[in-house]
């Protein structure tokens, strides 16, 4: 560990931690989380690649154009990006205010719109099932369900995490450790946005084009 | 049967087969193996109960987050699985010797053997071995007190054990898959093999894969962030460099495998079409994913062994490593290039000639940094004052044999030649030729070097030397003939042959395999003899080999906190420099309280829950699947509300421990290298080495 780590005030511009040993450890955990995200990015990258190779493997079943409901996708995109935006506000208020309700309020907005995203996604899935566009139908649909589903599962996991964070903020207040966790959660949340932008353009826009 | 046993039937219980099926050698081997697992597990349980050691096992080991103990547990896991893997190897050799127009085992049983053997040897022997070494050594060598994430480290161990446990369970309940360690669909798809075999494989691989990925994450963060002050990158011991590169590979190479396994699971369990023959499935995607992991994997395994060999040469030649920088650069180049060669595993599977050539050339290029390393080691040995003890014997065997293995790899890298010999015993010879001398010999040599550090006494030297020679000779007789068998056209993975000309080779390799069996017994005997004579072999002062890196500047075994005070590093091989300058083991001016993470049952809970999960999906016991998922998710949810607390070791206690050690050192007489292997060696070396670069 570098010698400066314990004294440098700008160690965590995004978090505003106290200057205890925890700050030093936060550096390590945040870096560890970045590493995890890199690995997760490889995972998504591979599923994207598989999707790309299976785009035409429709085996006579429904193709990209038939399974894309652009209105719903546009709304999902807005909701998910909105959720990320709200999360940024949660991070900022965590940094500048010691009022937990402010942070919690933004978190609630972020969670609600992510929940909306998931609901719409499930609704789309439901429609696809009704039209026979089930993953068992073709390689293309398998890849589509896997890619979108993997992202959806990440979002669902994130919601669970947010629920846990809400409880922890209520229990512990905005301690250094909680701040560090929220910072990591923020990384995760924005990362999922990024992945969604990929899905949005590669799967849906390219699909109907 | 349905609830609660899913598709599990009584007839799936293999031990019963001994009585319900007609007697045959095949049945005896299969059912007998199941009995051995059951009896072995019971014996361990009884032994623990009789000796009243359950509490000790739980408190001191299973719930420990000490990286040293976790490292040792990885090694134990590896050895248990190694015993099974070698037994299977010998069974296969015995079968093939009788396989002129037949053979003692059924074809399916043979296929199950090479599949479990390959899977176990790679994932549950080689991986635990190198992970064990990295766990034990990284914090000690960089001057840290633990890993960056000690609890995650324990969870990684739990997940690895899950995979191993599923393999062991498959021996008793149901059966393993028969598609080789690569488990290519559609052969392992549900149409061809609905049975539980491929499912066992999938979950053993996927769950332990998460463990490996998290190990890589943990190790790399530890190395990046937890080095002692002054230890710049270019001052790190070479082993740490190789561990860093391996960790990076683990983080990036495991996802393709995990994705492949999960897609296979979706195909098999939910009827998706990723790799099926029909409805748009594409098995080439599987081959690509598997080897995108599979090739980096061979470097994941061998790089830490290279690290061990590097430490070994400089320590036992009493010289500074020659060409440190080139070795570091070579290691980094290997890690990068290892992602660009995977296609050489399927030159024959329909790629265009251009693609084959590109990957053939890339494969050739990756041999260059490996060659650099061999020269670095040779130059280090050159004019060194070499001690020809056990580690150096392994090193010698490695030198001669590994080069042969590497050269046969170069031959295989040429697509035109590859077309001729692919899928023959030539390949079997090649990969055993790199895995045994490269990886296993490195691990065994490393055990001889670091065992005294971990347990406070050396391994018996003569027993070690005999065992090392048995390994070298046994390996050579078992596997070198297979090059010729391959050139004569005997395919890989095939249970029988028709050409009597192959028989002499079969006898020769069977003989070699028996020697390997003796070598395995030799390892056990070495351990046994050493434990019996542990007082004579004790090296409590901690530096039996005149070591150069930080871990030797601690007592043996090191205290849970590793270092009384975190050292400041001024150059590479800092401990060597201090010794040569005559001021090692200095008393620090003052001590501070030390905080260590508290024990946790996280790893065990993950182990039990994920094993139940894997078993549940395999046998369609959906209630068990749901339950185990709830346990895992619920555990993380609930414990995130508990503030993690620490154990504090008071400064006075640290001082007492440290002083006692320093005092013992001041009373001891240093031992010269000539008496390194006799009972005069108490772990204080009379330094005699070269530190100048
Ligand atoms: C110790 C003595 C060993 C013996 C006697 C032995 C023997 C064998 C035999 C007979 C096969 C089947 C060859 C065929 O396909 O025709 C095999 C396959 C294999 N062995 Fe070993 N082996 C040994 C050690 C190891 C070790 C240490 C490793 C790895 C660390 C290893 C990894 C493999 C792999 C990956 C396969 C390929 C399995 C497949 O075809 O899917 N073996 N071994
Ligand atoms: Cu390869």
Each domain of chain A, given as residue ranges in start order, spans: 3-208
What architecture is the A3-208 domain classified under in CATH?
A: Up-down Bundle (1.20)
pLDDT greater than 70 at residue A5: no
> Residue A150 corresponds to which tokens in the numbers above?
């993997």
Chain B residues whose beta carbon lies within 8 Å of the beta carbon of residue A35: 217, 220-221, 251
SS3 at position B387: coil
**Atom 40 of ligand 1: nearest residue by CA position:** B180
The pTM of the full predicted model, rounded to 2 decimals, is: 0.96
SS3 at position B4: strand
* pLDDT number for residue A207: 87
Residue-wise DSSP of B309-356: HHHHHHHHTTSPPTTHHHHHHHHHHHHHHTTS-GGGGGTTSS--HHHH
pLDDT confidence of B587, banded at 50, 70, 90?
confident
pLDDT confidence of A2, banded at 50, 70, 90?
very low
pLDDT greater than 60 at residue A8: no
pLDDT, mean of residues A37-52: 97
* pLDDT number for residue B690: 79
Helix (H) or strand (E) holding A133: none
Residue B440 within any structural domain of the chain: yes
Neighbours of B232 (CB within 10 A): 10
Total number of domains in chain B: 1
Task: Say whether the peptide bond before residue B4 is cis (omega within 30 degrees of 0).
Answer: yes
Q: Which of B153, B191, B210, B255 to mutate to test the interface with A (most CBs of A within 10 A)?
A: B255
Q: Which of A32, A61, A167 to mutate to test the interface with B (most CBs of B within 10 A)?
A: A32
- Rounded CA gap, B624 and B17, in Å? 26
Residues of chain B with pLDDT > 90: what percent? 92
pLDDT greater than 50 at residue A6: no
What CATH number is associated with residue B230? Answer: 1.20.210.10
Residue B396 within any structural domain of the chain: yes
Chain B residues whose beta carbon lies within 8 Å of the beta carbon of residue A52: none
pLDDT confidence of B583, banded at 50, 70, 90?
confident
Neighbours of A2 (CB within 10 A): 11
Give the CA count within 13 Å in the CB-facing half-sphere of A41: 13
Is residue B384 within 8 Å of residue B317, measured between CB atoms? yes
Q: 3-state SS of B594-647?
A: EEEECCCCHHHHHHHHHHHHHHHHHHCCHHHHHHHHHHHHHHHHHHCCCCCCEE
Which residues, 6+ apart, have CB-to-CB distance to B551 below 8 Å? B137, B140, B141, B450, B453, B558
- Rounded CA gap, B240 and A121, in Å? 46
pLDDT greater than 90 at residue B585: no
Taking CB atoms and an 8 Å limit, are A58 and B280 in contact across chains?
A: yes
Which one of A2, A3, A50 has the shortest CB-CB distance to B285?
A: A50
Strands B594-597 and B646-649: antiparallel
**CA B405 to ligand 2 center in whole angstroms:** 13
**Atom 36 of ligand 1: nearest residue by CA position:** B118
Which one of A32, A46, A59 has the shortest CB-CB distance to B221?
A: A32
DSSP one-letter code for B173: B
B122 C-beta closer than 6 A to ligand 1: yes
| Residues paired with B596 in a beta bridge | B647
SS3 at position B281: coil
> Residue B48 corresponds to which tokens in the numbers above?
């623990």
ipTM of predicted assembly, 2 dp: 0.94
Structure confidence by residue, pLDDT tens digits, B236-245:
999 999 999 9
- Rounded CA gap, B312 and B615, in Å? 42
* pLDDT number for residue B589: 82
Residue B246, judged by CB atoms within 10 A of its CB (0-12, 13-18, 19+), counts as: buried
Residues of chain B with pLDDT > 70: what percent? 100
* pLDDT number for residue A15: 62
Residue B653 within any structural domain of the chain: no
**CA B377 to ligand 2 center in whole angstroms:** 24
* pLDDT number for residue A9: 45
Q: Which of A3, A26, A39, A44 to mutate to test the interface with B (most CBs of B within 10 A)?
A: A39
The alpha carbon dihedral of A93, A95, A101, A103 has a sign of positive
**Atom 1 of ligand 1: nearest residue by CA position:** B86
Q: Hey, which of B428, B520, B522 would you mutate to test ligand 1's pocket, going by the most ligand atoms within 8 Å of its Cβ?
A: B428
Taking CB atoms and an 8 Å limit, are B259 and A46 in contact across chains?
A: yes
- Which phi-psi region, left, alpha or beta, contains residue B113 (left: φ > 0; alpha: ψ -120 to 50)? alpha
Helices vs strands, H then E, count in chain A: 7, 0
Ligand 2 (single-atom ion) residues, CB below 5 Å: B 295
**How many cross-chain Cβ pairs, A to B, lie less than 8 Å apart?**
116
Residues of chain A with pLDDT > 90: what percent? 78
Helix (H) or strand (E) holding B649: strand B646-649
Structure confidence by residue, pLDDT tens digits, B183-213:
999 999 999 999 899 999 999 999 999 999 9
pLDDT, mean of residues B50-72: 97
Residue B83 within any structural domain of the chain: yes
Distance from CA of B410 to the nearest CA of A (A): 29
pLDDT, mean of residues B683-688: 90
Average pLDDT, chain B: 95
* pLDDT number for residue A4: 37
pLDDT, mean of residues B519-533: 97
Question: Residue A145: which of A156, A136, A157 has the closest Cα?
Answer: A136
SS3 at position B646: strand
Distance from CA of A87 to the nearest CA of B (A): 20
pLDDT, mean of residues B155-164: 98
pLDDT greater than 80 at residue A10: no
Determine phi and psi for B564, rounding to 5 degrees.
-65, -45
pLDDT confidence of B514, banded at 50, 70, 90?
very high
Chain B residues whose beta carbon lies within 8 Å of the beta carbon of residue A136: 270-273
pLDDT greater than 80 at residue A12: no
> Residue B139 corresponds to which tokens in the numbers above?
């914090």
């Amino acid at each position: 560990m570098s010698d400066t780590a314990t004294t440098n005030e700008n160690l965590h511009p995004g978090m505003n931690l106290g200057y205890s040993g925890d700050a030093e450890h936060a550096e390590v955990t945040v870096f560890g989380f970045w590493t995890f995200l890199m690995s997760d990015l490889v995972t998504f990258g591979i599923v994207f690649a598989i999707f790309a190779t299976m785009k035409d493997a429709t085996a006579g079943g429904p193709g990209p154009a038939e399974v894309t409901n652009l209105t719903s996708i546009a709304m999902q995109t807005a909701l998910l990006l909105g959720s990320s935006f709200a999360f940024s506000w949660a991070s900022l208020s965590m940094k500048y205010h010691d009022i937990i309700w402010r942070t919690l309020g933004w978190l609630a907005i972020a969670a609600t719109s992510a929940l909306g995203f998931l609901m719409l996604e499930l609704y789309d899935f439901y429609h696809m099932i009704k039209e026979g566009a089930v993953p068992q139908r073709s390689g293309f649909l398998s890849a589509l369900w896997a890619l979108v589903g993997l992202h959806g599962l990440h979002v669902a996991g994130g919601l669970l995490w947010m629920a846990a964070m809400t409880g922890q903020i209520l229990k512990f207040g905005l301690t250094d450790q909680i701040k560090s966790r929220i910072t990591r959660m923020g990384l995760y949340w924005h990362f999922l946005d990024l992945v969604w932008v990929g899905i949005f353009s590669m799967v849906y826009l390219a699909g109907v084009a | 049967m349905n609830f609660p046993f899913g598709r599990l039937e009584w007839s799936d219980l293999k031990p019963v087969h001994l009585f319900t099926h007609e007697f045959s050698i095949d049945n005896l081997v299969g059912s007998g193996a199941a009995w051995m697992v059951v009896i072995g597990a019971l014996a361990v349980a009884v032994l623990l109960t009789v000796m009243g050691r359950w509490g000790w096992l739980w408190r001191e080991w299973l719930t420990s987050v000490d990286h040293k103990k976790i490292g040792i547990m990885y090694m134990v896991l590896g050895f248990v699985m190694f015993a099974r893997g070698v037994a299977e190897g010998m069974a296969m050799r015995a079968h093939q010797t009788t396989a002129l127009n037949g053979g003692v085992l059924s074809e399916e049983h043979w296929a199950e053997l090479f599949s479990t053997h390959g899977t176990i040897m790679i994932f549950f022997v080689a991986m635990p071995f190198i992970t064990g070494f990295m766990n034990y050594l990284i914090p000690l060598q960089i001057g840290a007190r633990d890993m960056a994430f000690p609890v995650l480290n324990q969870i990684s161990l739990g997940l690895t054990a899950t995979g191993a446990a599923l393999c062991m369970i498959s021996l008793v309940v149901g059966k393993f898959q028969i598609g080789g360690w690569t488990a290519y669909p559609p052969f392992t798809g549900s149409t061809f093999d609905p049975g539980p075999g491929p499912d066992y494989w999938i979950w053993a691989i996927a769950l332990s894969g998460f463990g490996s990925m998290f190990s890589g994450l943990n190790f790399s963060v530890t190395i990046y962030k937890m080095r002692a002050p002054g230890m710049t990158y270019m001052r790190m011991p070479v082993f740490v460099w190789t561990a860093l590169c391996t960790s990076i590979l683990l983080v990036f190479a495991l996802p393709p495998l995990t994705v492949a396994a999960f897609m296979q699971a979706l195909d098999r369990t939910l009827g998706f079409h990723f790799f099926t023959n029909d409805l748009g499935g594409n098995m080439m995607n599987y081959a690509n994913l598997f080897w995108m992991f599979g090739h980096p994997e061979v470097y994941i395994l061998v790089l830490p062994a290279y690290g061990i060999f590097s430490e070994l040469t400089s320590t036992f030649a009493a010289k500074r490593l020659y060409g440190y920088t080139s070795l570091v650069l070579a290691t980094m180049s290997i890690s990068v290039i290892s992602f660009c060669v995977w296609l050489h595993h399927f030159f024959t599977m329909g790629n265009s000639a251009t693609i084959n050539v590109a990957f053939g050339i890339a494969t050739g290029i990756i041999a260059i940094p490996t060659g650099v390393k061999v020269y670095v080691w040779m130059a280090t040995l050159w004019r060194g004052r070499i001690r020809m003890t056990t580690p150096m014997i392994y090193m010698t065997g490695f030198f001669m044999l590994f080069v042969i293995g590497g050269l046969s790899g170069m031959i295989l890298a040429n697509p035109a030649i590859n077309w001729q010999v692919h899928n023959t015993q030539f390949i079997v010879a090649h990969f055993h030729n790199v895995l045994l001398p490269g990886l296993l010999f490195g691990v065994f040599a490393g055990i001889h070097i670091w065992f005294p550090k971990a347990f406070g006494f050396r391994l018996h030297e003569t027993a070690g030397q005999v065992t090392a020679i048995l390994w070298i000779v046994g390996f050579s007789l078992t596997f070198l003939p297979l090059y010729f068998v391959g050139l004569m056209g005997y395919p890989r993975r095939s249970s029988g042959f028709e050409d009597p000309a192959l028989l002499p080779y079969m006898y020769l390799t069977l003989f070699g395999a028996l020697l390997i069996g003796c070598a395995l017994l030799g390892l056990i005997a070495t351990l046994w003899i050493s434990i019996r004579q542990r007082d004579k072999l004790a090296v409590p002062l901690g530096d039996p080999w005149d070591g150069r890196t930080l871990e030797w500047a601690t007592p043996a075994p090191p205290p849970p906190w590793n270092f009384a005070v975190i050292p400041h590093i001024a150059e590479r091989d800092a401990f060597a420099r201090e010794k040569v300058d005559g001021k090692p083991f200095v008393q620090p001016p003052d001590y501070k309280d030390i905080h260590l993470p508290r024990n946790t049952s996280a790893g065990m809970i993950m182990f039990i829950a994920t094993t139940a999960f894997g078993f549940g999906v395999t046998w369609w016991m959906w209630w068990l699947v749901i339950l185990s998922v709830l346990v895992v998710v619920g555990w993380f949810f609930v414990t995130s509300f508990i503030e993690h607390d620490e154990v504090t070791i008071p400064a006075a206690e640290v001082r007492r421990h440290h002083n006692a050690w320093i005092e013992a050192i001041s009373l001891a007489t240093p031992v010269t290298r000539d008496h390194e292997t006799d009972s005069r060696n108490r772990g204080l070396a009379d330094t005699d080495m070269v530190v100048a670069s």
